[in-house]
């Protein structure tokens, strides 16, 4: 399984012939959904993303809310959590858990608060956790660290931060690493994960935004 970060909260996960785009954003350059049905796209909340869903063509599988989905060798769970919109109103965020190649990948969507016990139980075991690093409009750094400790993933991949802000151009990531008591290697272009190469202790992997 290969994981690339396309910026903001968007990741491309490649598993065999399948491509999964978590949380694409307006203006993202991407291919149309493949005619063999091997492209999957997830959206965590209603709003601008849904206005652009037709860009993916009629062949992509679009996941747009809570539920269970099976697409060939991929299994998805969508878990609903409360969300605070920018205008202060309440909304719904969907966390997605993907199971592929024996690896559990969790994308937190636009998480804006700590997870309640029912959500933690629904998410279950996590190998790779894609989550906001902390910052405006999402979690605070202390809240992000609390979520990591609650889910106990093997690998955390930060997202939804401004890479040019803060110390060393890493936004809130240095503070998050300090909260978690870990260090991180230099940013990498991609992450390759198998069931057999998962670390025994928590690892934070910072990815560089990757062009399509």
Which CATH number belongs to the domain containing residue 26 in this structure?
A: 3.60.15.10
Residue 199: exposure state from Cβ atoms within 10 A (0-12, 13-18, ≥19): exposed
Domain assignment of residue 119, yes or no = yes
- Note the Cα 208 to chain centre separation in Å: 15
Tens-digit pLDDT profile for residues 118-169:
999 999 999 999 998 876 667 888 999 999 999 999 999 999 876 554 445 5
Domain assignment of residue 211, yes or no = no
Collapsed DSSP state (helix, strand, coil) of residue 122: helix
Domain assignment of residue 137, yes or no = yes
**Which residues are bridge partners to 14 per DSSP?**
2, 19
Can you give the residue range of the structural domain that contains 112? 2-204
Tens-digit pLDDT profile for residues 32-87:
667 777 899 999 987 655 556 677 777 889 998 999 999 999 999 999 998 776 66
Domain assignment of residue 79, yes or no = yes
Domain assignment of residue 212, yes or no = no
- Note the Cα 48 to chain centre separation in Å: 18
Domain count, the chain: 1
Domain assignment of residue 55, yes or no = yes
Domain assignment of residue 173, yes or no = yes
In angstroms, the CA 156 to CA 150 distance is: 13
Q: What angle do CA 28, 33, 35 make, to 5 degrees?
A: 160
Domain assignment of residue 88, yes or no = yes
**Pairing of β 18-22 and β 10-15:** antiparallel
The answer to whether 73 and 67 have CB atoms below 8 angstroms apart is: no
Tens-digit pLDDT profile for residues 158-199:
998 765 544 455 778 899 999 999 988 888 999 999 999 999
In angstroms, the CA 40 to CA 42 distance is: 7
pLDDT at position 101 over 80: yes
């Amino acid at each position: 399984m290969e994981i690339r970060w396309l910026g903001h909260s968007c990741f491309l996960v490649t598993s065999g012939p399948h491509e999964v785009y978590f949380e694409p954003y307006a203006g993202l350059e991407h291919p149309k959904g493949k005619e063999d049905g091997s492209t999957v796209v997830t959206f965590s909340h209603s709003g601008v993303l849904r206005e652009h869903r037709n860009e993916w063509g009629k062949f992509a599988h679009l996941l747009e809310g809570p539920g269970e989905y099976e697409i060939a060798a991929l299994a998805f769970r969508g878990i609903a959590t409360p969300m605070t919109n920018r205008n202060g109103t309440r909304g719904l965020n969907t966390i997605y858990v993907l199971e592929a190649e024996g690896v559990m990948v969790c994308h937190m969507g636009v998480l804006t608060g700590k997870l309640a016990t029912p959500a933690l139980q629904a998410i279950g075991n996590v190998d790779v956790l894609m989550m906001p690093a902390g910052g405006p409009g999402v979690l605070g750094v202390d809240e992000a660290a609390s979520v990591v400790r609650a889910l106990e993933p093997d690998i955390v991949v930060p997202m939804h931060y401004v890479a040019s802000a803060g110390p060393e151009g890493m936004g809130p990531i240095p503070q998050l690493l300090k909260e978690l008591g870990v260090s991180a290697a230099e940013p990498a272009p991609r992450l390759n994960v198998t069931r057999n190469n998962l670390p025994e202790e928590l690892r934070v992997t910072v990815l560089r935004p990757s062009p399509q």
